[in-house]
Amino acid sequence: MSENNGDAVPTNEFDDADTAIDFSIPFVPESLTQLYYTPALARLSAAQRLRYNQLYAAHINEQFMFFEHDIGNAISRALLASGALKQQGLRDRLRGMVDDEERHQGMFESINRRAFPELYAHCRHVFIRPSAIARHLLNACVQRPKSMTFVIWLAFFLEEASAEFSKAVIKFAREGAAIEANFLTVHVRHLRDEVHHVKLYPEIVRAVLSDSSALARKINGALLARLMREFLAPKRSGIAVIDRLVHEFPDLKAIHDDLRRDVRSLAGSPAFYDAFFAAAKLPSLHNMFDEYPEFAWSAAGAAARHR
């Protein structure tokens, strides 16, 4: 997707790094990590904080790869194969998005392997490892986006939230925060395509839901709300980052359980949810809730259900 019609699209700024990775500075802004929203962060030394930040950045890249491969592209390919999209132009743009996501996955995989060869020599995913049953259920749903329309809203959410994440990384760098140049470049390149994907999703939603009955929308809306509650609560992958940190810093073993508990406690934290998933940060998604109120969902509501 090469058209450039959004004011949020990054220019060439920060898109020049292909140098040795600098391990002396953060890979992402600290306020974009989970531990920032917990008392646990203050219990880490400066070296442990920095390493947590770097491992967390790798975990974000893995997340993006998982979203793009196992959710976004799986849905896009199923839609293209199903004949659900009547407009040739929309199908062409969807194919362009699939290509973009393939390129992004290569980019995230490559930087993780460069930065952490000891972790990624033989695999793409170290921290993101859904249980077999979760993977099976997800696969079954993403293959059927015409009837399981809630998965399209999940993908829409992931597109806008991941674009917002990259946008926030770039904003911090513009404001003078020290962010590792190669990781920053990846977010610049990622955002350049994602702003177009965010614009495409409302059209996909309208095209698919035009065939959906009121009852089907209601059922799918309820499934979406349930899924989002589960999906957003920090669990396995955030804990896996903690486990790796403790493995690298054995003196943290004494507070290992506290660190894990603090990450889990974020499931009920309004500050954490607001920082990433507030309605103001996901305007395209929330605008579409005006058209399709059956699918309206809020992060604040999800956090409240966990308290």
CA-closest candidate to residue 245, choices 110, 89, 57: 57
Query: Closer to Fe ion at the Cβ: 36 or 165?
Result: 165
Q: Residue 1 or residue 21: which is nearer to Fe ion going by CB?
A: 1
Binding-site residue total for Fe ion (CB under 5 A)? 6
Residue with tokens 């998005």: 97
Q: Nearest distance from residue 189's CB to Fe ion, in Å?
A: 10
Nearer to Fe ion (CB atom), residue 190 or residue 244: 190
CA distances from 30 to 177, 178, 179, 239, 298 (A): 10, 11, 10, 17, 25
Torsion of CA 152, 155, 159, 164, to 10 degrees: 110
Least distance in angstroms from the C-beta of 167 to Fe ion = 13
Buried b (16+ CB within 10 A) or exposed e, 258-287: ebbebbbbbbebeebbbbbbeeebbebbbe
Q: How far is the CB of 154 from Fe ion (least distance, A)?
A: 13
Q: Tell me how far apart the alpha carbons of residues 307 and 304 are, in angstroms, rounded to a whole number.
A: 5
**Closer residue to Fe ion in complex, CB, 200/252:** 200
Contact window for Fe ion (CB under 5 A) among 14-22, 195-203, 236-244, 297-305: 195-203
187 binds Fe ion (CB under 5 A): no
In the complex, minimum distance from the CB of residue 283 to Fe ion, in angstroms, rounded to a whole number: 16
Tell me which residues in 196-235 interact with Fe ion (CB under 5 A).
197
C-alpha distances (whole Å) from 182 to each of 107, 114, 161 are: 11, 10, 21
Minimal distance, residue 197 CB to Fe ion, in Å = 4
Of 199 and 235, nearer to Fe ion (C-beta) is 199
Q: What is the per-residue binding string for Fe ion in 46-85, x denoting contact by CB under 5 A?
A: ----------------------x-----------------
x-or-dash string of contact with Fe ion, 100-139, rule CB under 5 A = -x--x-----------------------------------
CA distance 299 to 225: 10
**Which of 212, 197, 101 is CA-nearest to residue 148?**
212
User: Nearer Cβ to Fe ion, position 13 or 99?
Assistant: 99
CB 242 within 8 A of CB 263: yes
Contact residues for Fe ion (CB under 5 A)?
68, 101, 104, 159, 194, 197
